[in-house]
Amino acid sequence: MNDCIAAISTPKGEGGIAIIRISGHDSPEIVQKIFESRSGKRIIDFRSHSLNLGYIKDAEGLIVDEVLVSRMDEPRSYTGENVVEINCHGGAIATRKCLELVLQAGARLAEPGEFTKRAFLNGRLDMVQAEAVIEIIRARSEKALELSARNLGGALSKTLKAVEEELIIINSRLEGSIDFPEEVGDPDWTEIEEHLQVVENRLKSLAASSRRARVYRDGVKVVIAGKPNVGKSSLLNVLAHKEKAIVTEIPGTTRDVIEDLINIRGIPVRIMDTAGIRKTEDSIEKIGVERTRDALIEAEIVIFVLDASTGLSNDDLEIMQEIEDKRKIIVVNKEDIKNRLLNGDEVRARFPGVVMVEVSALEETGIDDLEAALEEIIIGQSGRSETGQEIMTNVRQEYAINAALEHVQDAIRGVKNRMAIDGIAVDTWGAVSWIEELTGKAIREDVMERIFADFCIGK
């Protein structure tokens, strides 16, 4: 781990600036070989964490780029090692050339995630925090970003540490009794059970919280459906804040599934506008209606649109039957028109228990209510957290939390039935090792490699 690694840490292509990051004990000396500062100072004489103007020069002494160079001394750097960063002008060629010179000067190209891996190995971050770095980069909504940032700040790590400490108390009690049966005798089972209960509750609420938070990370698929001309495309356009779908007064305008990624109160929503469902002889429209049905199968939530200007028709009732098993919201659209043939009370009476919202896609009224209803149906069903402080976990973390939870529950059963102490200890140790795998304290090499391989180069 003593060698120096380098990579371009900014996105590919042209930009205002590009940053080459070099990490390793000798990074200041390596960069010095190709750098000449305007002030005449050497890199090791710069103040740590300051920016310094100068030039990158090639072997012939020709200027490749004018740059700003900073040196961040260990351990106060991203990786915990000496880090030098070169801010180049953002041209793709110049940046490549600078990187090549850095490599020729003695650094080696970093592997994906290698900077963050070094941060982990140097104890700057635990595994959960390292993973939060990826999740921050990939966050698709502000809420997902907020939750990832909290994990980078240590929200999940703190909870796990508390669980681990509790488990270690339990283990020391059990071990005392196992190792010195004569002197110590049986452990205080009531006390052990109390500690185990605390751990169980913590892990359970963590698992529940991560189920809820998953929505913010992965998003949900919502399909807008209804008979032709009710205003489905108009509604999509309002929710997406842009003219995504064609709107006309001709029934059967939309022929294809039109998709957009939008953001409803922090939840990433893949929303789909579909062709109005009706029996038709038009061969293109027919295919469109088939596609609507395919989309409905995949939908996690359906926005079923009714038209206040036409009233309920048989078509509406048939569609309602098709989506009987789906989680849904009924939207009565065109509430702005004067001579309504359908009102909210009628719909409520007809479809008891189904959430209903009245809107006008044309005048953009009721849209707040619709967004609130969507949020409620998406988040509400998995229950709200008591504290409002969600903790997000990824698939690996969720798996490990549940595995630890299972061990703890087995241990509780063991205590209740007064099973052999050794057997109970196997479970409490099992729980500890899952928690340590989570935080990275005792992570398997291959698991670690897999996590960092998921990063991009330069991170």
Ligand X SMILES: Nc1nc2c(ncn2[C@@H]2O[C@H](COP(=O)(O)OP(=O)(O)OP(=O)(O)O)[C@@H](O)[C@H]2O)c(=O)[nH]1
Instruction: Summarize as ranges the residues that interact with ligand X (CB under 6 A).
Output: 228-234, 247-249, 251-254, 275-276, 333-334, 336-337, 360-362
8-state DSSP, 9? -
Nearest distance, CB of residue 322 and Mg ion, angstroms = 18
By CB under 5 A, is residue 79 in contact with Mg ion? no
Dist. CA 42–CA 52, nearest whole Å: 10
Nearest distance, CB of residue 277 and ligand X, angstroms = 8
Q: How far is CA 303 from CA 1, 219, 233, 287, 334, in A?
A: 54, 16, 12, 21, 15
Nearest distance, CB of residue 241 and ligand X, angstroms = 15
CA 175 vs. chain centroid, Å, equals 40
- CB contact set of 177 (below 8 Å; sequence gap of 6+): 184, 185, 186, 187, 421
Beta bridge partners of 66: 55
> Which of residues 203 and 361 has its CB atom nearest to ligand X in the complex?
361
Nearest distance, CB of residue 208 and ligand X, angstroms = 38
> Which of residues 70 and 233 has its CB atom nearest to ligand X in the complex?
233
By CB under 5 A, is residue 234 in contact with Mg ion? no
Name the residue among 264, 286, 277 with its Cα closest to residue 304: 277
Dist. CA 367–CA 390, nearest whole Å: 26
How many residues in total does the chain contain? 459
By CB under 5 A, is residue 233 in contact with Mg ion? yes
Name the residue among 166, 216, 156 with its Cα closest to residue 398: 156
User: Under DSSP, is residue 88 helix (H, G, I), strand (E, B) or coil?
Assistant: strand
Nearest distance, CB of residue 354 and ligand X, angstroms = 19
Nearest distance, CB of residue 253 and ligand X, angstroms = 4
Tally helices (H) and strands (E) across the chain: 16, 13
> Which of residues 23 and 333 has its CB atom nearest to ligand X in the complex?
333
By CB under 5 A, is residue 229 in contact with Mg ion? no
> Which of residues 276 and 414 has its CB atom nearest to ligand X in the complex?
276
> Which of residues 254 and 439 has its CB atom nearest to Mg ion in the complex?
254
Dist. CA 458–CA 110, nearest whole Å: 7
> Which of residues 225 and 400 has its CB atom nearest to Mg ion in the complex?
225
Per residue, the 3-state secondary structure of 97-153, as one string, reads: HHHHHHHHCCCEECCCCHHHHHHHHCCCCCHHHHHHHHHHHHCCCHHHHHHHHHHHC
Dist. CA 113–CA 367, nearest whole Å: 42
By CB under 5 A, is residue 171 in contact with Mg ion? no
Stretch touching Mg ion by CB under 5 A, among 21-29, 232-240, 329-337, 405-413: 232-240
Q: Which does residue 248 touch among Mg ion, ligand X, none (CB within 5 to 8 A, set by kind)?
A: ligand X
Nearest distance, CB of residue 228 and Mg ion, angstroms = 8
> Which of residues 257 and 457 has its CB atom nearest to ligand X in the complex?
257
Q: Which does residue 266 touch among ligand X, Mg ion, none (CB within 5 to 8 A, set by kind)?
A: none
Compose the 247-266 pattern: x for residues touching Mg ion by CB under 5 A, - for all others.
Answer: ------xx------------
By CB under 5 A, is residue 333 in contact with Mg ion? no
Q: Tell which phi-psi region holds residue 210, choosing left (phi > 0), alpha (psi between -120 and 50) or beta.
A: alpha
Angle at Cα 136 formed by Cα 132 and Cα 137, nearest 5°?
Answer: 120
Nearest distance, CB of residue 280 and ligand X, angstroms = 11
Which residue's C-beta sits nearest to ligand X? Answer: 276
Helix axes 421-439, 395-416, angle to 10 degrees: 160
Binding residues for Mg ion, rule CB under 5 A, total 4
Nearest distance, CB of residue 436 and ligand X, angstroms = 54
Q: Which does residue 360 touch among Mg ion, ligand X, none (CB within 5 to 8 A, set by kind)?
A: ligand X
Nearest distance, CB of residue 220 and ligand X, angstroms = 21
> Which of residues 39 and 248 has its CB atom nearest to ligand X in the complex?
248
By CB under 5 A, is residue 177 in contact with Mg ion? no
Check: CB of residue 296 under 8 Å from CB of residue 326: yes
- CB contact set of 250 (below 8 Å; sequence gap of 6+): 229
> Which of residues 361 and 408 has its CB atom nearest to ligand X in the complex?
361
Q: Which of residues 21-60 bind Mg ion (CB under 5 A)?
A: none
Question: Residues interacting with Mg ion, by CB under 5 A?
Answer: 232-233, 253-254
